[in-house]
């Protein structure tokens, strides 16, 4: 038996609807610019680009219902509601026609983003990690197994802040649907059970401040809710 120099931390995991069991996490992949209107609001031309990916550490995950502390280094924290895909079957070079067979289930999640750091990273041609991969930056609602949700390819995806609508779109607007995302990623890395995909956000991203209450919902998938608490002093 391996002897570690300190007790290993608990495995990051995601809640599953209707059970106390949890989905153990391995990696979090995120897709950029996967809704045309959001690509445009960020100043990009969405036409013809293959999907691209960035990552968050698995332990950035945070359950729905949490109070998320306003993160350090930013004064422009943004919400991004996204369909989350949970992988439970390994594979590489997966055919898009087979890709949905690797999916365990779906959730509503929020990719929290330090937009000011991301803007600086883009301007200086630096990596996005510091703007995307901070503590509590991957808020994830309860996973629903495919047996219950099916494979959602249409239906509303919405987010409100303090009861005011901010994002309101349809999953049918995804530029790269779930099967293509899984297939593309599997050409770069071998996907493994426990991998999550945040599939990109629709238009309407905007700032959050301490005290805000955020509610997201994806039709036939589920909800995600959290509040922003003051930055710890």
Contacts with Mn ion, residue ranges (CB under 5 A):
80, 111, 201
Residue number of the CB closest to Mn ion reads 111
Report the candidate in 18, 39, 26, 28 with the shortest Cα–Cα distance to residue 136: 28
CB of 2 to Mn ion, least distance (A): 36
Return the number of the residue (49 or 98) whose C-beta is nearest Mn ion. Answer: 49
Torsions phi, psi for 112 (to 5 deg): -80, 140
CB of 157 to Mn ion, least distance (A): 12
Return the number of the residue (104 or 197) whose C-beta is nearest Mn ion. Answer: 197
In sequence order, the 6+-apart residues with CB closer than 8 A to the CB of 147 are none
Return the number of the residue (118 or 179) whose C-beta is nearest Mn ion. Answer: 118
Return the number of the residue (46 or 193) whose C-beta is nearest Mn ion. Answer: 46
* Bridge partners of residue 197, in order along the sequence: 29, 85
Return the number of the residue (80 or 142) whose C-beta is nearest Mn ion. Answer: 80
Contact (Cβ atoms closer than 8 angstroms) between residue 118 and residue 213: no
CB of 32 to Mn ion, least distance (A): 7
CB of 58 to Mn ion, least distance (A): 17
CB of 19 to Mn ion, least distance (A): 28
Return the number of the residue (202 or 222) whose C-beta is nearest Mn ion. Answer: 202
Residue in this structure with the two tokens 């994806």, named with its chain if needed? 218
Tell me the H-state helices in 167-231.
Answer: 178-188
CB of 68 to Mn ion, least distance (A): 16
Q: Encoding tokens for residue 185? A: 């990623």
């Amino acid at each position: 038996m391996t002897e570690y120099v300190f007790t290993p931390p608990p495995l990051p995991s995601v809640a599953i609807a209707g059970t106390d069991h949890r989905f153990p996490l391995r990696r979090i992949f995120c897709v950029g610019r996967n809704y045309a209107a959001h690509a445009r609001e960020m100043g990009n031309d969405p036409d013809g680009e293959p999907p691209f990916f960035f990552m968050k550490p698995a332990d950035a995950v945070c359950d729905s219902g949490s109070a998320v502390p306003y993160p350090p280094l930013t004064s422009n924290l943004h919400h991004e509601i996204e369909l989350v895909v949970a992988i439970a079957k390994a594979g590489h070079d997966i055919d898009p026609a087979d890709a949905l067979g690797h999916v365990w289930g779906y959730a509503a999640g929020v990719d929290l983003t330090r937009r000011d750091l991301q803007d600086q990273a883009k301007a200086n041609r630096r990596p996005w990690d510091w703007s995307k991969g901070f503590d509590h930056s991957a808020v994830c609602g309860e996973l629903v197994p495919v047996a219950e949700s099916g494979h959602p390819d249409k239906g509303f995806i919405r987010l409100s802040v303090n009861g005011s609508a901010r994002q309101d779109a349809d999953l049918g607007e995804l530029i790269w649907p779930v099967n293509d995302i899984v297939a593309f990623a599997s050409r770069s890395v071998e996907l493994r059970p426990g991998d999550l995909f945040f599939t990109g956000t629709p238009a309407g991203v905007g700032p959050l401040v301490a005290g805000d209450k955020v509610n997201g919902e994806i039709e036939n998938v589920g909800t995600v809710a959290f509040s922003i608490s003051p930055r710890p002093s």
